[in-house]
Each structure stands twice: as structure tokens, then as C-alpha cells.
Chains A and B, each alone.
Chain A
Amino acid sequence: EVQLVQSGAEVKQPGESLRISCEGSEYRFTNYWIAWVRQMPGKGLEWMGIIYPDDSETRYSPAFQGQVTISVDKSISTAYLQWSSLTASDTAMYYCARRGYTFGEVYWYFDLWGRGTLVTVSS
């Protein structure tokens, strides 16, 4: 089954570092950009950034630039989202999502989503 499998829920303390993952399966991982989307409790979706697995080209939303790092290991079809120092305001559900692509053309929508990773930051 074509899917994005995200790592499990995390509970962290303020100031700790964290890396969560998103593994693509049953499709050519390197052909599709992978985005990260934040959803704070009871709130809407926010695009954080996106990475192209084949060459690691990365774009960040200005709101998240410098706050998080997006990376990829194409050898294991996995994208990552990491924080060096978490704060309580990072408490949210984080989704990875695949950008639409077909026959060499990329699209401006997300056609496949992971189930989300809940990150809770609390002292």
C-alpha cells in the first residue's frame, strides 16, 4: 500500500531536542517532494516547509525558517523534522504530506498524508 508512515507520539521537556520521521513506502520516494504541516491543538493547518528527496532541496515557510530543520535520507525513504530546543508552543500534531507529481510534472497539492505525530512539550 502506498503510504507515509510517521513515527510515534513524543513527550518532551522544554529545551530538549527532537527528530520525528516520515517513511514513504510502495512508491518511488525520490520523485515526490515531502512537506511538513503543523496543526496546533484545535487549530488549522500550517505549511512549514518541503524537501525534495532526490537532491535534498528544501524550502521553508518564513514562519518556521530557523525554528526547525527538514532533512531526508533517501536511502531509507525517510524524511525528518527536527528541533534543537523545543518550547511549549511546539506542542502540536505534525503531518508529513506528499506533493502531487506525475510524469515529470509537480503539482500544488498534497495527495498523500501521514497519520501525524503528536508532539507534546511540557515541564
Chain B
Amino acid sequence: QSALTQPASVSGSPGQSITISCTGTSSDVGGFNFVSWYQQHPGKAPKLMIYDVSYRPSGVSDRFSGSKSGNTASLTISGLQTEDEADYYCSSYARSSTLWLFGGGTKLTVL
């Protein structure tokens, strides 16, 4: 099963908002509210930022929000800060033998 589709890169200026999309199918993103988002800084382990489409774990800034429409989930970061510069990966449960799918990752550059 193919990975979920994310844009390779997005950029924004400090204080602005950006949105990263994650497109799947009705067998994964569109069929279930089990989308999660991970932040990965260079040389570091991924960190859970959003789970179940729109929920934030304790300790994650409320500048991060998630949503979903049809087969596409989105991560929005408002009030961009330089420390937000990182790679972001979406993930979803998949109704197949590949239980978890990841997106290809999106590199966020804060200009």
C-alpha cells in the first residue's frame, strides 16, 4: 500500500500560519479518525503533535491544530516560530495488512 501524500516542502515567515496536507484514501485517512502528526527535528526522534485527527497531547502548543475533510487531513501551525522548522509526518491507520501508513514527510522552513 502506498504512503500517504504530503507536499515535499512548505515555508512561512515568523508569525504567519501554514497548513500541511496529507492525502490518502477511503481505506485509511478518509475512513477513520485515526490520523496523527509527528514533528522531527534533524537528528532527533519523531514527536507526537496531533492524534485522532485533531487532539493535542499534553505539552504541545495550541498553535498546532489538525483537521480532516474527506481523504485529506491537514496540520495547521499558527504564529510560526523558528523552532517549528522541522520535518512533519502524517500517519493513519489503514484497513489493510499494512496497519499504519506514514506520509512521505514535509520539510517546513521558517524564513
Listed in ascending order, the chain A residues whose CB lies under 8 Å from chain B are 35, 37, 44-47, 50, 59, 61-63, 95, 97, 100, 107-111, 113-116
Cβ–Cβ < 8 Å partners of A50 in chain B: 99-100
Are A62 and B97 interface neighbours, CB within 8 A? yes
Cross-chain contact of B98 among A37, A61, A110 (Cβ < 8 A) = A61
Give me 6 other A-B pairs in contact (C-beta within 8 A), A108-B34, A109-B34, A109-B91 excluded: A44-B3, A95-B46, A100-B51, A107-B52, A110-B48, A110-B91
Hey, which chain B residues are within 8 Å of A61, CB to CB? 97-100
Question: Which residue numbers of B lie inside 8 Å of A, CB to CB?
Answer: 3, 32, 34, 36, 38, 44-48, 51-52, 57, 89, 91-93, 97-105
Known contacts A45-B38, A45-B105; is-contact A62 B89 (Cβ 8 Å): no
Q: Are B36 and A109 in contact (CB under 8 A)?
A: yes
Q: How many A-B residue pairs have CB under 8 A?
A: 68
* Nearest CB of chain B from residue A101's CB, rounded to whole Å: 12
B93 touches A44 (CB 8 A): no
Tell me the bound Cα distance from A95 to B43 in angstroms: 12
Residues of A within 8 Å of B93, CB to CB, are: 108
Q: Min CB distance, A20 to chain B, in Å?
A: 15
Q: Are A108 and B100 in contact (CB under 8 A)?
A: yes
Which residues on A sit within 8 Å (CB–CB) of B45? 95, 113-116
What residues on A are CB-neighbors of B105 within 8 Å? 44-45
Chain A residues near B52: list those with CB within 8 A: 107-109
- The distance in angstroms between the C-alpha atoms of A116 and B45, with both chains bound, is 7
**Do residues B89 and A45 form an inter-chain contact, with CB atoms below 8 A?**
yes
* Cα-based distance from A118 to B52 in the complex (angstroms): 30
Distance (whole angstroms) from the CB of B4 to the closest CB of chain A = 10
Of the candidates A100, A107, A113, the one whose C-beta lies within 8 Å of that of B47 is A113
Which 3 residue pairs spanning A and B have beta carbons closest together? A108-B34, A109-B36, A47-B100
Say how far A96's CB is from chain B's closest CB, in angstroms. Answer: 10
**B38 near A63 (CB under 8 angstroms)?**
no
